[in-house]
Amino acid sequence: MSEQKVYTTNPNAKRLQLIDLEKVYPNKHGADVHAVDRINMDIAPGEFVTLLGPSGCGKTTTLRMIAGFEKPTGGDIRLGGESIRYLSPDRRDTAMVFQTYALFPNLNVYDNIAYGLKIKKLTRQEIQEKVMGILNLTGLMGLENRHTNELSGGQQQRVALARALVMEPGILLFDEPLSNLDAKLRIQMRTEIRKIQRAVGITAVYVTHDQAEAMSMSDRIVILKDGRIEQMGSPKEVYYSPVSEFSANFIGTANMLHGKVVGKQDDGISVSVLDMEISGIKTDREFVVGDECTLVIRPEACTVQEKGLLSAKVVFSTFMGSYQLYELEVGGNRFTVHENNPKNQHIYETGETARIELDVADIHAI
């Protein structure tokens, strides 16, 4: 579990525990909204955890309860082992980076970053040392006298990050911080944020609906659905061992076949699917013979060729540079396949029949 893994040597970094945390919004028509439905999490000091899920699944509400902007209707929040549930936001040792940056437009970069330190009544000298250190860390050195309206979106986001970091909080909270940036800058900034978070060794909870962002940044990902945790694990765990079709679809692309369990072995299960029987399929579930199951197969696990396990019809074939993108029909199911190094392969065109070869080890049953 997470508490055994060491992520940081920073003594300020704090462990975060959410215990049966709940937020119910009353609805005047009687149907209460369970925005957050008794979730549990244990996040280690210095760990980077992303809350991922579709709009309305409870990401922002969870984050705002951690920050203290929203009151839980049940459960507890512990930071560094102590309950912060009833503390006001300014007494929580948390700092938040917002999607909209929320900078002070009338202050320059330096004063935006120094603002919280002035309120804490640090000396001029201390403030200057801390702000200069953070400007350096976030790549803002030289911009300290600029007004925030003279900055690009990426620079404004850095100021927002710097302003949060300078307070040396026990945990850093991010609510979709990159949503207002263009695609290229978003990719650049996610690496940047991750590098800075690692360098400081601070605990981070990051909210996004972008699975690529979650995959590339996180130590662990929490997939939320309707206010509940659908799955929690490292990017590799959620990608290779999804617990449900929802998880499999939410992270990456998933090809699925529906079948029936016909046998069990030490190394996996046998499944009857598309008039075949495939043995040695790995699973994390406790199936019994006769159960329905879904086989999840990732696009890059498949190759389109003359011989192979599954017969298929090419519905769409297109050159994507580093790979050939195929859409195929496999026994009434739609498959996506990424064929790497297309220049070394025979290319199947739309309308052709082919077979899909795959390693049974690449199939995961749920």
Chain residues in the site for Mg ion (CB under 5 A): 60
User: What are the residues whose beta carbons fall under 8 Å from the beta carbon of 321, sequence distance 6 or more?
Assistant: none
End-to-end Cα, the chain, rounded Å:
23
Q: Examine residue 164 and tell whether it contacts ligand ADP (CB under 6 A).
A: no
Q: Which is nearer to ligand ADP, 13 or 35 (CB)?
A: 35
Q: Which is nearer to ligand ADP, 35 or 310 (CB)?
A: 35
Between CA 302 and CA 335 the distance in angstroms is 10
Choose among 42, 44, 40: nearest CA to 74: 40
Which residue in 17, 50, 60, 203 binds ligand ADP (CB under 6 A)? 60
Q: Which is nearer to ligand ADP, 26 or 133 (CB)?
A: 26
Length of the chain as a residue count? 366
Six-digit token string for 236: 């590799």
Q: Examine residue 24 and tell whether it contacts ligand ADP (CB under 6 A).
A: no
Q: Which is nearer to Mg ion, 99 or 249 (CB)?
A: 99
The values of phi and psi at residue 40, to 5°, are -125, 135
Which residue in 13, 16, 49, 57 binds ligand ADP (CB under 6 A)? 57
Q: Examine residue 67 and tell whether it contacts ligand ADP (CB under 6 A).
A: no
| Least Å from the CB of residue 159 to ligand ADP | 24
Q: Which is nearer to Mg ion, 205 or 310 (CB)?
A: 205
User: How are beta strands 310-319 and 323-330 bridged, if at all?
Assistant: antiparallel
Q: Examine residue 56 and tell whether it contacts ligand ADP (CB under 6 A).
A: yes
Between CA 230 and CA 219 the distance in angstroms is 17
Q: 58 contacts which partner out of ligand ADP, Mg ion, none, CB within 5 to 8 A by kind?
A: ligand ADP
- Measuring CA to CA, how many Å separate 111 from each of 166, 173, 300, 317? 12, 21, 49, 55
| Least Å from the CB of residue 39 to ligand ADP | 12
Q: Examine residue 74 and tell whether it contacts ligand ADP (CB under 6 A).
A: no
* Residue of minimal Cβ distance to Mg ion: 60
| Least Å from the CB of residue 59 to Mg ion | 5
Distance of CA 5 to the CA centre of its chain: 19
Between CA 16 and CA 246 the distance in angstroms is 26
Q: Examine residue 178 and tell whether it contacts ligand ADP (CB under 6 A).
A: no
Element (H, E) at 96: strand 94-97
Q: Examine residue 308 and tell whether it contacts ligand ADP (CB under 6 A).
A: no
Which residue in 14, 15, 59, 364 binds ligand ADP (CB under 6 A)? 59
| Least Å from the CB of residue 324 to ligand ADP | 36
Is 349 buried (19+), middle (13-18) or exposed (0-12) by CB count in 10 A? Answer: exposed
| Three-class SS state of 336 | strand
Q: Examine residue 203 and tell whether it contacts ligand ADP (CB under 6 A).
A: no
| Least Å from the CB of residue 208 to Mg ion | 9
Distance of CA 183 to the CA centre of its chain: 17
| Least Å from the CB of residue 54 to ligand ADP | 7
Interface residues with ligand ADP (CB under 6 A) are 25, 33, 35, 53, 55-61
